[in-house]
């Protein structure tokens, strides 16, 4: 009975290791149960709503990006090769998200996509999209995320017992090397469990799978980059869905992708020209994409 808690070091480790493993496995198995969501799966038509898809895929920032790309395509906004976005038109009355994002662009100035996303992501119209996704059972609400985070208390309680044992062993000048290594491993497992806290419900995963299928099933001409098909056209709708799912990777138009997301430009045309539509029409409407030259009479400046 001279041993702490009546257990020798090896005996304690023989109990601690399986107890912690069982607690960590239990926390992992309970997580999918808490991710089920509370409401029925929304109508299948929702898998074609780019804003909802964007919110479920990446959150408010992706919602803003979808609106920006749609407005650039409709020439409501233009973006220059130095990544400056400016107003060039008026957003549609019926699109609250586009109007909110448009309002975040300085009236007589320019902004970047990163800055615009930061300002517009917290607007009421964008928040409504994410809140509606949560109410539809696609995103975890604050309470559900807190309960999933609370699952860490299960292995955390076992870890706490190990820490107490370590302190007792150190105060009694007993060898604790193996216990220290065991506790370090436990902390790594706890960190892995905590860092992978989900945003979506299982219904949200199903919703995204349906959206990907819808986008993949479209004819190639309809699911490419934004093509200037006009607001509400099938082509523009599929393009917006692609941006919602894939972000910048959905844009086959390299010129526009570089102008918005800041990748190094490969164009031989002069800087500062404005890409105002999916065909990379710049300034006066001449094309800068598709390998066409910006020299001569088809220049993009001015």
Same domain for 206 and 188, yes or no, is no
- Quote the pLDDT of residue 223: 42
DSSP conformational letter for 230: -
Same domain for 133 and 210, yes or no, is yes
The token pair at 71 is 């407005």
281-282: strand order across its sheet? 85-87, 77-80, 274-275, 281-282, 286-287
Same domain for 64 and 81, yes or no, is yes
Number of domains in the chain: 2
Q: Please provide the distance, in angstroms rounded to a whole number, between the alpha carbons at the two ends of the chain.
A: 90
Q: Is the dihedral of CA 186, 189, 195, 200 positive or negative?
A: negative
Residue 67 resides in a domain: yes
- Quote the pLDDT of residue 270: 40
Q: Are 278 and 228 in contact (CB under 8 A)?
A: yes
Residue 21 resides in a domain: yes
Same domain for 182 and 218, yes or no, is no
Same domain for 191 and 205, yes or no, is no
Same domain for 133 and 16, yes or no, is no
- Quote the pLDDT of residue 279: 39
Residue 164 resides in a domain: yes
Residue 291 resides in a domain: no
- Quote the pLDDT of residue 219: 61
Residue 153 has pLDDT above 90, yes or no: yes
| Cα–Cα distance measured from residue 279 to residue 262, given in angstroms and rounded to the nearest whole number | 18
Same domain for 238 and 123, yes or no, is yes
Residue 158 resides in a domain: yes
Q: Which domain holds residue 15?
A: 4-34+142-195
CA 288 centroid distance within chain: 30
Residue 70 has pLDDT above 50, yes or no: yes
- Provide the pLDDT confidence category of residue 284 given band limits of 50, 70 and 90: very low
Residue 290 resides in a domain: no
- Quote the pLDDT of residue 98: 94
3-state secondary structure of 87: strand
Residue 302 resides in a domain: no
Domain boundary among 175, 195, 215: 195
Residue 104 resides in a domain: yes
2 beta partners? none
Where do we find the tokens 């062993």?
169
Same domain for 182 and 56, yes or no, is no
Same domain for 113 and 159, yes or no, is no
Same domain for 154 and 125, yes or no, is no
For residue range 106-138, list pLDDT tens digits in order. Answer: 988 899 999 999 999 999 999 999 988 888 889
pLDDT > 70: what percent of the chain? Answer: 76
3-state secondary structure of 105: coil
3-state secondary structure of 162: helix
| Cα–Cα distance measured from residue 215 to residue 222, given in angstroms and rounded to the nearest whole number | 9
Same domain for 205 and 62, yes or no, is yes
Instruction: Please state the pTM of the whole predicted model.
Output: 0.68
287 beta partners? 281
Domain boundary among 161, 177, 195: 195
Same domain for 125 and 214, yes or no, is yes
What mean pLDDT value characterizes the chain? 79
């Amino acid at each position: 009975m001279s041993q702490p808690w009546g257990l020798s070091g090896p005996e304690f480790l023989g109990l601690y290791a399986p107890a912690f493993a069982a607690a960590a496995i239990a926390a992992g198995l309970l997580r999918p149960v808490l991710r089920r969501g509370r409401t029925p799966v929304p109508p299948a038509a929702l898998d074609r709503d780019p804003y909802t898809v964007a919110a479920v895929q990446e959150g408010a920032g992706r919602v803003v990006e979808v609106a920006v790309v749609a407005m650039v395509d409709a020439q409501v906004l233009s973006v220059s090769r130095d990544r400056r976005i400016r107003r060039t038109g008026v957003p549609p009355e019926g699109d609250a998200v586009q109007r909110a994002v448009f309002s975040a662009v300085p009236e007589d100035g320019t902004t970047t996509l990163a800055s615009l996303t930061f300002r517009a992501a917290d607007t009421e119209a964008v928040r409504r999209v994410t809140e509606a996704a949560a109410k539809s059972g696609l995103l975890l609400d604050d309470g559900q995320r807190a309960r999933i985070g609370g699952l860490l208390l299960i292995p955390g309680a076992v870890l706490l017992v190990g820490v107490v044992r370590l302190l007792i062993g150190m105060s009694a000048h007993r060898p604790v090397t193996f216990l220290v290594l065991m506790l370090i491993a436990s902390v790594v497992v706890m960190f892995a469990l905590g860092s992978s806290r989900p945003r979506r419900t299982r219904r949200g995963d199903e919703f995204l799978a349906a959206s990907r299928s819808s986008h993949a099933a479209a004819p190639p001409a309809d699911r490419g980059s934004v093509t200037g098909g006009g607001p509400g056209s099938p082509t523009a709708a599929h393009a917006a869905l692609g941006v919602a799912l894939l972000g910048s990777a959905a844009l086959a138009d390299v010129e526009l992708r570089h102008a918005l997301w800041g990748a190094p430009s490969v164009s031989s045309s002069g800087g500062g020209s404005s890409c105002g539509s999916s065909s990379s029409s710049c300034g006066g409407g001449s094309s800068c994409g598709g390998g066409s030259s910006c020299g001569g009479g088809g220049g993009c400046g001015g």
